[in-house]
Each structure stands twice: as C-alpha cells, then as structure tokens.
Amino acid sequence: MALSKSHAVSIALLAFFVCAVVSSDPDPLQDFCIGDLNVVPGINGFPCRNSSAVTVDDFIYSGIVNSSNTTNINRSGAIFGTVLRFPGLNTLGLSIARLDFLPEGIIPPHTHPRASEMVYVEEGTVYAAIVTADNRLFARVMNRGEVMVIPRGLIHWQMNVGRTNAKIIATLNSQLPGIQFIARSMFGSRPEVPNEVLEKTFFLDERGIDQVRSNFV
C-alpha cells in the first residue's frame, strides 16, 4: 500500500528525531554531582551527594602530587585519579593519571577500553607508541612539553629512553577508563589461560610460558 505524502513526511521526521536522540549525550541537569562512593554506582556513575555538604575540597585532587612507586620489574609506576579516588569527577567523563619512569622504565602495552587519552611529557624523554587495529605502528621519541593523543581502545605504551627519570601526565575522557595490560591479561589471569592457547598464540613452549607467568605471580 502506497504511503500518503503526509505519512511519508511524518516517518521522515520520526527518523530524524530518533537519530538526534541517540547521537548525543543529554545535557547535565545540575552544575555538579559529587559522587557518593558509599552507594553502588549505576550505568552513568554514582548517585550525587547532598549538594549542601559539598566543599571546595571536593573539586580538588592531591593524589598525583607525589611520585608513584617505581620499584618493580617495569621500573615505572602510575597513580590514577578516577572517580573512585576523586568523586568530583562523577558524571563529567574525565580522569587523570600520573606516570613515573626510572631510566629504561616502561608502561607496558595496554589499552583503555572506555576512553581516549592524551599524554603530556612533563619531564624527560619517552618513546611513545600506538598500534592500530590494522597493525600499523605509530611511534616516536617525545620530549618535554609534547603531547600525544591515543584513540580509545588502541594498544599503546610509553618507555623512558633518557638518562634521567621521566614523568607523564595523562588525561582520559572517562571517569572510569579501565586498563588492560596485554601480557598480564594473557599470562597472569585467573583462572589461567590454557597453555595450548598461549603456545599457538605466542609460539612459546611450556618452559617459556612458565617463565613469563612467573613475572605475574
């Protein structure tokens, strides 16, 4: 049955408004929403604390003032300022991190499944890299003051190639960006990934698998 002109226009307008609804985030309904971490979060974050109890300290995070612990096998450390530590980020879609490196230190290959990232080299010289879904490597040495953008979900890493300590400040567009280290996920998960899978994926024998796993105990 053929549609009348008025019906066709109505369907076109409906399709337009449906697309408009699903293609943008809703506007905030309040100036801020300091997260109540004592309540289980919902799909959009934590419930808001009573605004009358909010102080200026709720908008300030001091967690990245001091350097992170770098006494580990990677000679690096990270401090994350997500909503779990900085409730003022609740519903804002933002988080921050401080990365510290000893000489030759590395933040190993990893991804952030829920966020894109910008890394700012505040001190030192780092080799920073991104690997895309079609296995293209984008990498170069970054110096103090330079910034790299890392699209959401892509494998990336940073390594100190200088003779002194290095420091990076990273910002991410999610209050809970998540982080998944490639090697730790495959060799340090519980229960363990079957040896047969690791043998066929990384071309390692059982001795090699055990050796790599020992780093994640």
Domains parsed from the chain with CATH numbers: 26-178 (2.60.120.10), 180-216 (no CATH)
Residue 12: per-residue pLDDT: 53
Question: For residues 177 and 135, what is the distance between their CA atoms, to the nearest angstrom?
Answer: 23
Do the annotations mark residue 7 as ligand-binding?
A: no
Do the annotations mark residue 110 as ligand-binding?
A: yes
Residue 21: per-residue pLDDT: 47
> Alpha helix locations (H) across the chain?
5-22, 182-187, 195-202, 206-213
Low-confidence residues in the chain, pLDDT < 70: 1-28
Residue 11: per-residue pLDDT: 54
pTM confidence score: 0.84
Residue 174: per-residue pLDDT: 94
Task: Provide the 8-state DSSP code for 41.
Answer: -
Are 117 and 134 a contacting pair, CB within 8 Å?
no
The angle, 0 to 180 degrees and rounded to 10, between the axes of the packed helices 195-202 and 206-213 is 100
